[in-house]
Structures are given as structure tokens and as C-alpha cells.
Amino acid sequence: MPNENNGVQEVPVRGGGLGPLDLTAKAAVVTGASSGIGAATARRLARQGARVVVGYHIGAERAEKIVAELPGDGHLALRLPIEDTGALEAAATVVRERFGSVSVLVNSAGSTVPVAHRDLDGLTDELFDSMMRINVRGPYAVTRAFVPLLRASGDAVIVNVSSVSGRTASGSSIAYCAAKAALDNLTMSLGRVLGPEIRVVGLAPAAVETEFVAGRGRDAIAAQAASTPLRVMVHPDDIADAALAAITQLRVATGTTFVVDGGKHL
């Protein structure tokens, strides 16, 4: 019955000492999984025994190749266009029919267009809206579509791949920085409202060894790494390892974003 003090539905309190989350035969959905951080995370989850939905937008061939390479069985390549709510709802139906529930959702899909921060005219309304639509509304829409399946598992976790740009306001564009700050805020809000069945955490890397930012080569990433305390070139596998730790080990963390940037923010 509702709590007389605040009207919040009372929920039984679980005991502590939860231990690592066992992913064996559990369904994990990863958006943007045809390349980069998403692909690395899909591989890590499969190695832990999960049945992975390799979500993609236009990289169907790459996604199918990744599925073929994953250890275990039961994996699926599935189109998850994060800007199309109707398509996401249809994809969630496919996942429900195949798996019944979802234990892990990784919102890895995102996009940016480099625009110098001083170039206010270059950051057009269209570009600004696109950054918000893809990097903020997209993860929200994916989450909304899959929440019923996550709740059905009884013990699920969402990982939002953010960026340290959301804290430093230094990144590929002002709009991208603002979008990632908004995503971190979204992680907090969802962590508050989706418990106890669903935890929500974020990961905030700096430059990663991918082709995510057009025109940013390996030399530029190495130069940025050289200026950090750890002086390490961050690889997609490093972020995938952090995601796996958040999913399986950090069982009492929710609503928070972990910075995994080699110390760039310091």
C-alpha cells in the first residue's frame, strides 16, 4: 500500500551481498553494436554467456558478421534505428517473442559532427537538433521501448555510453557536449524512477581508438592520451570492460555516470 508519508509505493527491501550478476543465457541488447564500443561490448557480454542482440542502424552486414563471430549461440542482429520510435517498438516485440525478457540494455549508439566551438554560425539549428535527437532522445526512446522487457527480468541494468565532454564542455562541438551532459542527467532521472527492478548507469570516456569523430586520426587521439595522467590510448575494449564491470559487479550503483577517461578530466 502507499506510504502515508510520501505516497510512494512500498517495496520490500532486499538483502545485501548480491554478488556478481550471472549473465548466462540472459538477453542483452546493445545499440550501435556493429562497430566501436558497441561491438566490443557485445563481444564481452557474449563471452559471459549472454545472448546478445547486436543492434544496428545501417550496418547490417557488419552486425551479421559480429553475430557470426560471437561465442555461444542464440545471438541476433536486429535493426534498432534510435531516431524511429515505431521501429524500436517493433524491434522490442521481436526481442520479446524470441527471449521473453531483457537483462541488459547498452545504449551505445550515438553520433557527432565536429564544429569548432567558436564557430557559432557553423553549428546550425539542424546540427544542434540532430545532436540532441540522436544522443539524448535516442537513448531515451530505446529505454522506453525496452523497459517492459527489462522489468520482466526482475534484475536488469541499463548502461548509457556518454562522454567526459558532458562534464568538461570540451569536445567535438558545443551541441555534442550539451547532449552528453543531458544524457548524464537522464541517467540520474531514470536511475531514480526505474528501481528496484532496473539499475541505470553511465560511462563517460574521452577519445577512444575509433573512427567516431570524422577527421580525428590516431595521432590526435595519441596526443590527447599523452596529456592525461595515465597516458593510455583508450581502446573500445577498455570501455567494454568498464561496461561489464558496471553490469556484473557494481550491483548497488544506479543513477551515476562513471568517468573512464585515463584522467583527462583532471
Residues designated catalytic: 176
**Cα dist. 225→46, 83, 198 in Å?**
29, 32, 34
Nearest Cα neighbor of 246 from 190, 198, 200 is 200
CB 90 within 8 A of CB 79: no
Separation CA 13–CA 196 (nearest Å): 9
Separation CA 248–CA 250 (nearest Å): 6
Q: Which residue type sits at 190?
A: L
Nearest Cα neighbor of 82 from 157, 30, 159 is 30
User: Reading across the β-sheet that carries 27-30, which strands appear in turn?
Assistant: 76-79, 51-56, 27-30, 104-107, 156-161, 198-204, 256-259
